Structure formats: structure tokens, C-alpha cells
Amino acid sequence: MQVQGLEIHASACAGNQTLIVAGEVDMATSPSLEDAVGRACSGYPAKLVLDLTRVTFIDSTGLNAILSARALCVRRTLGFEVVIATPQVKRVFEICGLRSAPFLTLVDASAAAAAAARVIAIDAYRLHREGRSPSRSARAESRRPSRPALATTSQPPSGPRSPSRGPLTQAF
């Protein structure tokens, strides 16, 4: 899933679901993160891991999305872990008093890069075994419509636009 300023890559391994998040998690992009978390938890994995090692900026709405993800996992009795590496994101968690939260894992940037490379390599190998190439899969994802096609009319839709139908809610 890719939204302007945010990219989310999902990976499943050993019963766990990992969402690798890159870019900025802010007021404009946090609804996309919440949607991705909801989809990731729908299959009831043993644990949800939010890999924020490539997040460059996070604000209070992004932090709220993470805490909402934790609440969802608690309600569904799923494990939950957040992995952060960048100093900017570490600082936000520290200011909010969450640096010592039991679900938070702090790693250094080089370890985070190595872990992300392993996940990407595992996904590429899985796609290869299924007879699909990673590049074809990425192109297919980019062509997937973000919402169901509506019947075309000459009249524009009436009424206020629902926030859940905005350009930020895309399929992943």
C-alpha cells in the first residue's frame, strides 16, 4: 500500500503478521495505517509487528493509530510489538512516556536495515516459488483500484463526502 508520504508493506512469517511502514505517519496518512492494521489483524495472526524502522516522522495522530492498533490486538488477544530505530520516532515515544512500554522494541538503524532486507528477501523467495516475480506483483498492486468502480453518471454525486471514501483509503 502506498499513499503520498507513506508506504506499507505486509509480510507474514511463522504465524506473525508484520507491517513494514516507511515515510511519514501523520494526520493525512494515519487512516491508511489503521486500515492496514485492521486488514492484517483480520486473519488473527499470533502477533502483529509494526516495523517503524523506516518511519522518518510521526505526530500525535500517528501515535494514536499505533495505540489503537495495540488496543485492537489486546481485544483480539493477539501479540503486539512496535519496532523503532530512527531518533525522531524514538524521541516522540520518549516524550509521551512510552519509551519503556512492554510492546516497544528499540533497535539501532543498522540492525533495522538488516531485518528489513531479510523480510524483503523472504517475500521475493516466496513469490519466486509461487511462479510470480516481485516486479510483476508490484505492478499488479499498483494497478489495483483503490475502491469499487461506481456506475458512471453525468451528474456529480450529491451530499457531503464521507471521510472514509477519501483518496487515502486504498486497498493494500
Runs of H (alpha helix) within 14-151: 30-41, 60-75, 87-95, 109-129, 134-143
Q: pLDDT tens digit string along 56-109?
A: 999 999 999 999 999 999 999 998 988 888 888 888 888 888 877 878 777 665
Average pLDDT, the chain: 75
pLDDT at 172 over 50: no
CA 113: distance to chain centroid? 17
157 Cβ contact list (under 8 Å, min separation 6): none
Distance between CA atoms of residues 36 and 11, nearest Å: 12
Separation in Å, CA 132 to CA 117, 123, 135, 138: 19, 11, 8, 10
96 Cβ contact list (under 8 Å, min separation 6): 63
Strands of the 6-13 sheet, one edge to the other: 2-3, 6-13, 16-25, 47-58, 79-84, 104-106
Its CATH class, for the domain covering 2-108, is alpha beta
30 Cβ contact list (under 8 Å, min separation 6): 61, 62, 64, 65
Per the CB < 8 A criterion, the answer to whether 58 and 26 are in contact is yes
Where are the domains positioned within the chain?
Answer: 2-108
Query: How many other CB atoms sit within 10 Å of the CB of residue 157?
Result: 9
Tell me what the mean pLDDT of segment 22-32 comes to.
Answer: 93
At residue 114, the pLDDT reads 65
Q: What's the pTM?
A: 0.61
Using CB atoms within 10 A of its CB, is residue 115 exposed (0-12), middle (13-18) or buried (19+)?
Answer: middle
